[in-house]
Amino acid sequence: MKKLKIAFVGSGYMANEYAKVLTGKLKNKCEIIGSTNRSNNRIKEFNNKFKVKKHYKNLDDMMLLSKPDIVIVCVSELSTYTVLKKVSNYPCICLIEKPVGLDFIESKKILNLRKHKNFLPFVALNRRHYSSVLNAKKLLENDKSKRIINIFDQENSINAKKTGQPHKVVKNWMYANSIHMIDFAYLFGRGIIKSIKKLSGVKFLQEGIVSTKLIFDSGDVVYYHCIWNRPAPWSLQISTTKYFLELKPIEKLSFLTNKNRKWTSIKSSYLDTKYKPGIFSLLKEILSYKKNKISNLQNLRYSNDLMRLIRNIYFD
């Protein structure tokens, strides 16, 4: 069977996590044929580690000469627009690390880029593909009752600044990092959001809490709480008439039922322990799309809607 050709733009932490799966569990289905990055030292290490066929100094050269089936974009928010402006001129499936843009305005600019008709972009929302999240969805699929969903986020913009994040990224930290948790509102809330009510508001780049209530036309209600610059865990709770589900941390799922008050825990998948959680499942979706044009991946339109929701929670 002919292997799919994979190329990377960027060679940092997330690029390494994808490459581990591609050269491990998926090595019989694909090969990394090219890479490009601004940092020569980092790209050399990446190429040697994963036996990448060729390093390209120029992004256009990589696209023209290697003709990849799938391009994985793992670059800083500050570089995403510039990279996608180039990559979108070529026919390929593209998996883009979130956030797709620095903020909502840039996300909209990316959405409106003139693109090659066979450029097919998807957003790498890997937490949707955690085995814990997939199991939670499966438990709830036949439960039609109203959902009350609590999302507990925690962000530390002070620490982000201390660790060297650029000022522009820190200013937009809710897009850069809260996107992971706010995505659960759309994943588990059914229907269309008909109202957004702010329950508290603070200067979120300082110390305090942001709380917002989202009401969906299905009757589902989402409470989003984010503690800024204080310690707290990420977690998710979903209440229905049949179940109370808790993901705390997000990688682990436990639940109660209306018939049994004893907690039941569901074990994470083996592949979520062998690799970074969600990455194998996410890449399988991309390979599936290449083969039969069917997937559960989110496109740039969804990414823009999600960035708009973040803006509405934090700025409007």
Say how far apart CA 23 and CA 30 lie, in whole Å: 8
Q: Is residue 146 part of a domain?
A: yes
| Contact assessment for residue 248 and residue 173, using Cβ atoms and an 8 Å cutoff | no
pLDDT of residue 111: 98
Say how far apart CA 8 and CA 226 lie, in whole Å: 33
Torsion of CA 159, 164, 169, 175, to 10 degrees: -40
Q: Is 188 exposed, middle or buried (0-12, 13-18, 19+ CB in 10 A)?
A: buried
Say how far apart CA 180 and CA 9 lie, in whole Å: 22
Same domain, 123 and 185: no
Same domain, 118 and 143: no
pLDDT of residue 213: 98
Q: Which residues are CB-neighbours of 138 under 8 A, at least 6 positions away?
A: none
Same domain, 18 and 99: yes
Q: Is residue 161 part of a domain?
A: yes
pLDDT of residue 59: 97
pLDDT of residue 40: 72
Q: Is residue 25 part of a domain?
A: yes
pLDDT of residue 207: 84
State both tokens at 15.
Answer: 């690029």
Same domain, 32 and 97: yes
The answer to whether residue 180 scores a pLDDT higher than 70 is: yes
Same domain, 142 and 257: yes
State both tokens at 247.
Answer: 């993901």
Same domain, 164 and 119: no
Q: Is residue 102 part of a domain?
A: yes
DSSP classification of residue 55: B
* Packing angle of the helix pair 104-111, 300-314 (nearest 10 deg): 160
Say how far apart CA 182 and CA 174 lie, in whole Å: 9
Domain count, the chain: 2
Alpha helices (H) along the chain: 13-22, 40-50, 59-66, 77-87, 104-111, 131-140, 157-162, 167-171, 173, 179-188, 270-274, 279-292, 300-314
Q: Is residue 256 part of a domain?
A: yes
Same domain, 171 and 205: yes
| Contact assessment for residue 225 and residue 210, using Cβ atoms and an 8 Å cutoff | yes
Boundary residue ending a domain (76, 107, 127): 127
Same domain, 106 and 178: no
- Encode pLDDT of 5-43 as tens digits: 999 999 999 999 999 999 999 999 999 999 999 877 788
Same domain, 175 and 57: no
Same domain, 53 and 165: no
pLDDT of residue 121: 98
Could you give the count of Cα atoms lying within 13 Å of 67 in the half-sphere of its Cβ? 1
What is the pLDDT averaged over residues 74-91? Answer: 97
C-alpha pair distances (Å), 289 with each of 62, 69, 195, 293, 302:
22, 11, 34, 4, 17
Q: Is residue 313 part of a domain?
A: no
Boundary residue ending a domain (127, 143, 164): 127
Say how far apart CA 78 and CA 168 lie, in whole Å: 8
What is the domain-level CATH number for residue 86?
A: 3.40.50.720
Average pLDDT, the chain: 95
- Encode pLDDT of 251-297 as tens digits: 999 999 999 889 999 999 999 999 999 999 999 999 999 988 888 89
pLDDT of residue 202: 63
The owner of tokens 């990420």 is 234
Domain range enclosing 249 = 131-264
The answer to whether residue 204 scores a pLDDT higher than 90 is: no
What is the domain-level CATH number for residue 243?
A: 3.30.360.10
Q: Is residue 301 part of a domain?
A: no
Boundary residue ending a domain (243, 264, 285): 264
Q: Is residue 303 part of a domain?
A: no
- Encode pLDDT of 114-173 as tens digits: 999 999 999 999 999 999 999 999 999 999 999 999 999 999 999 999 999 999 999 999
Same domain, 138 and 112: no
Same domain, 147 and 71: no
pLDDT of residue 42: 84
